[in-house]
Every structure is written in structure tokens, then in C-alpha cells.
């Protein structure tokens, strides 16, 4: 078993903190919550401190924030049905674009690896794809494939494929059809028995981990046409299969999951206030992988843990956010 060491407790938000997101270079991170603010935290004398507080971008709860891959922009998704884009061109972060179109609460926002595309999803059941050209944002597609509230969107680590997770219990993958430049659903991942709250791609993009209100984590594996195990594919598209279910570990809804691209460790944020870390077994069969829980941090927070995210540059470092209004910095030691 490894240990999770609390490095620092950060208070700054009033009320529930919904989300945290690392800057791609790891030197700072942002947090957001029901107080309608975004706080950017950075290191000062080896302690994390508030660098900037962004206000007045939204009129309701800020549900999620995302740094662009270049690190120059922050996109924020709000219950006020808008996305704000913040940039630092003037020297300090300012909201210079607001994207409108969703009918109600926006739940998630994600930048593609190139930074050229933005995906958003909403309570209105749709996923929107926005094209970014020279600071202009144009809606490229409105995808109405889910039958319920869409909770999360996340881009493939290097391809233009976006995954979405929904209250309709499914995960869907979308890709642009080159023939008619229409965004279409290329796979539907069904197995969870309740709301899928979050998802994380592994570093290769061949696997996805998902977490749900059904208190399980599932690992999905991509099988391309002509794959070795002979999994049947149709219309030349890969199929995704659930190859592992982690059940019996979580006692309430799992709100978030993150898959570390350097260590391969999985971390989950749960409504039972616990942060858990899972490691793939070294002798694990890729078509039937097995994971072991290597760490469990009871009362990581005093209320639901809403978000966990591994530092992209410092292996083992992770940040969490909770309903208790706090953000916590942790370090995992094997």
C-alpha cells in the first residue's frame, strides 16, 4: 500500500468547490465553484497561494474550468448557460469571449490536444463542438446523441475524438466524418447502471476509465478493425469493450476520475469523502486487466470530493476539490 500525504489545505472559495484544473506546465492550477469565481493558485516560497481571482465572468455557479494546451487560455463552464474564455494578452487574465448557445446549465468544457477545438456539454442533452481560429469561436456542430443531461466531455489525448458521459448512463465517442464534415457518434459505451459522472483517457488514447453513480469504475478498451483477439468491428470503426469493472470499493457516487499519464495510476473522487488510488497489476492481461487499490484516504475532505487531478509534470502530486469549500494538495508515495 502507498500513502497519500497531505501537503497543503487551500481555502479561498466560499461554498462548494466543483473543479480544479492544472496548467499544462504544472506550475499553477485553477479552481472554481458555486461562489462564481475562478482562483488561480501558484507556488510562492514553496507554498501554494492565491495568485489571481477572476470574478464577474459568470452570473451563476462555475462548474468546470479548462486550460488550453498552450496554457494561455482558460475556458469556464457555468450554470448560467455560457462559456467564458479568459486570456492573458493584456498581462492579466480577462474574459474576452463568451460563448452562448446552450439552452441551460453547462456542465463541462474541454480543449482538444491541438487547442483548435473546444467541446462543451449541457443539461440540455447536447454536446457542442467549437472551432477556434485566431481567437474567434465558431460552433462547428451541435450533437444531440444523448437522451439526458450530459455531465462530462473529454478529448482524446492526441486525436480529434471527443468522449462524453451522461445521466443516461452511457459514454459516447464522437468524431468528424471527413465526407460531410458532420460530427457523428462512433461508439456508445453501455454498461454503467446509473449516471456516468466523469471519464479519463489513458495516455495512449486506447483506453478510457469511467466512474458512475452506480459506485463502480469501468475500464474500456478500444479494438480497431483487424485486432488480434478477433473482436468484430463494423463499418471500419473501432469498437469499445468494457474489460474491467472495479466494484465494491466505493460506497457512494464517484464524481471524478483521473488517469495519470506519467505513472498510469488512477485516482477517484467519491461522495463518501474518500480519495482512492488504483494501480494496474504488472502481470495484468491487457484484454482482461486487473487493478489493485493501492491507497485509500478516509476523510480526505469533510464532505463529498468533487474533483481530483494529477499534476501533469510532478508524478504523484494531485489536487482535490470538495463540497467542504477546500482545495487540497496531496502527494502519493508508493
Partner 1 sequence: MADTLENINPKLYKKIDERIVTANDENENIVDEFDTREIFDLIRNINDPEHPLTLEELNVVEQNLIENVPLQIDNRASKIIVKFTPTIPHCSMATLIGLSIRVQLLRTLPSRFKVNVEITPGTHMSESAVNKQLADKERVAAALENNHLLEVINQCVGIKC
The single residue among 61, 164, 166, 268 that binds partner 1, judged by CB under 8 A, is 61
* Region near partner 1 per CB under 8 A, out of 113-121, 135-143, 184-192, 295-303: 295-303
Q: Does 316 bind partner 1 (CB under 8 A)?
A: no
Q: Does 195 bind partner 1 (CB under 8 A)?
A: yes
The single residue among 323, 329, 330, 332 that binds partner 1, judged by CB under 8 A, is 323
The separation between the first and the last C-alpha atoms of the chain, rounded to the nearest angstrom, is 7
Q: What is the DSSP letter of 69?
A: T
* Region near partner 1 per CB under 8 A, out of 101-109, 224-232, 257-265, 308-316: 101-109
CB of 105 to partner 1, least distance (A): 5
Read off the C-alpha cell for 67. Answer: 486550460
Pair 126, 118: CB distance under 8 Å: no
Pair 40, 32: CB distance under 8 Å: no
CB of 193 to partner 1, least distance (A): 11
Angle made by CA atoms 172, 133, 205, in degrees to the nearest 5: 30
Residues 6+ apart with CB under 8 A from 168: 146, 147, 148, 149
Q: Does 214 bind partner 1 (CB under 8 A)?
A: no
The single residue among 134, 234, 298, 333 that binds partner 1, judged by CB under 8 A, is 298
CB of 75 to partner 1, least distance (A): 19
Angle made by CA atoms 61, 7, 63, in degrees to the nearest 5: 10
* Region near partner 1 per CB under 8 A, out of 58-66, 111-119, 201-209, 230-238: 58-66
The single residue among 10, 21, 34, 187 that binds partner 1, judged by CB under 8 A, is 34
Reference 63, options 96, 92, 104, 26; nearest CA is: 104
Can you name the residues that pair with 241 across neighbouring β-strands? 221
- Give the nearer residue to partner 1 in terms of CB position, either 96 or 302: 302
Angle made by CA atoms 165, 299, 217, in degrees to the nearest 5: 25
* Region near partner 1 per CB under 8 A, out of 222-230, 242-250, 278-286, 297-305: 297-305
Considering only residues 121 to 180 of the shown chain, the ones binding partner 1 according to CB under 8 A are 123, 149, 151, 167
Q: What are the contacts of 92-97 at 24+ separation with CB within 8 A?
A: 92/52, 93/40, 93/52, 93/54, 95/54, 95/56, 95/57, 96/135, 97/135, 97/137
Cα separation of 283 and 285, whole Å? 7
* Region near partner 1 per CB under 8 A, out of 47-55, 83-91, 103-111, 176-184: 103-111
Q: Does 212 bind partner 1 (CB under 8 A)?
A: no
Q: Does 194 bind partner 1 (CB under 8 A)?
A: yes
In DSSP notation, 214-229 reads: TS-EEEEEEE-TT-TT
Write out the H or E segment, with its range, that includes residue 290.
none
* Region near partner 1 per CB under 8 A, out of 99-107, 135-143, 238-246, 281-289: 99-107
The single residue among 304, 305, 320, 327 that binds partner 1, judged by CB under 8 A, is 304
Cα separation of 119 and 106, whole Å? 11
Q: Does 311 bind partner 1 (CB under 8 A)?
A: no
CB of 89 to partner 1, least distance (A): 32
Q: Provide the binding-site residues for partner 1, judged by CB under 8 A.
A: 16, 34, 60-61, 63, 79, 104-105, 107, 123, 149, 151, 167, 194-195, 213, 252-253, 271-272, 298-299, 302-304, 323-324
Amino acid at each position: 500500500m502507498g500513502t497519500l500525504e497531505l501537503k497543503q489545505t487551500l481555502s479561498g472559495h466560499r461554498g462548494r468547490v466543483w473543479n480544479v484544473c492544472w496548467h499544462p506546465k504544472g506550475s499553477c492550477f485553477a479552481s472554481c465553484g458555486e461562489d462564481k469565481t475562478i482562483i488561480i493558485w501558484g507556488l510562492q516560497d514553496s507554498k501554494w497561494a492565491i495568485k489571481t481571482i477572476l470574478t464577474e465572468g459568470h452570473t451563476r455557479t462555475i462548474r468546470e474550468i479548462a486550460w488550453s494546451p498552450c496554457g494561455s487560455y482558460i475556458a469556464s463552464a457555468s450554470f448560467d448557460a455560457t462559456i467564458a474564455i479568459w486570456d492573458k494578452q493584456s498581462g492579466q487574465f480577462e474574459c474576452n469571449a463568451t460563448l452562448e448557445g446552450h439552452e441551460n446549465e453547462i456542465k463541462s468544457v474541454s480543449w482538444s490536444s491541438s487547442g483548435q477545438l473546444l467541446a462543451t456539454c449541457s443539461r440540455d442533452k447536447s454536446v457542442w463542438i467549437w472551432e477556434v481560429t485566431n481567437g474567434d469561436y465558431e460552433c462547428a456542430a451541435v450533437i444531440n446523441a444523448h437522451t439526458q443531461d450530459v455531465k462530462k466531455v473529454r478529448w482524446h489525448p492526441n486525436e480529434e475524438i471527443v468522449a462524453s458521459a451522461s445521466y443516461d448512463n452511457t459514454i459516447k465517442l464522437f468524431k468528424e466524418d471527413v465526407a460531410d464534415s458532420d460530427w457523428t457518434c462512433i461508439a456508445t459505451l453501455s454498461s454503467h447502471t446509473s449516471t456516468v459522472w466523469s471519464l479519463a483517457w489513458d495516455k495512449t488514447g486506447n483506453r478510457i476509465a469511467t466512474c458512475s453513480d452506480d459506485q463502480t469504475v469501468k475500464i474500456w478498451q478500444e479494438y480497431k478493425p483487424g485486432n488480434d483477439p478477433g473482436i468484430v468491428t463494423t463499418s471500419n470503426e473501432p469498437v469499445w469493450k468494457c474489460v474491467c469493472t472495479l466494484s465494491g470499493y466505493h460506497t457512494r457516487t464517484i464524481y471524478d476520475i483521473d488517469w495519470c499519464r506519467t505513472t498510469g495510476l488512477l485516482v477517484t473522487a467519491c461522495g463518501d469523502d474518500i480519495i482512492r488510488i488504483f494501480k494496474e497489476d504488472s502481470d495484468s492481461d491487457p484484454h482482461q486487466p486487473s487493478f489493485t487499490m493501492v491507497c485509500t484516504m478516509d476523510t480526505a475532505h469533510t464532505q463529498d470530493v468533487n474533483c481530483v487531478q494529477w499534476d501533469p509534470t510532478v508524478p504523484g502530486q494531485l489536487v482535490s476539490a470538495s463540497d467542504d469549500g477546500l482545495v487540497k494538495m496531496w502527494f502519493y508515495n508508493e
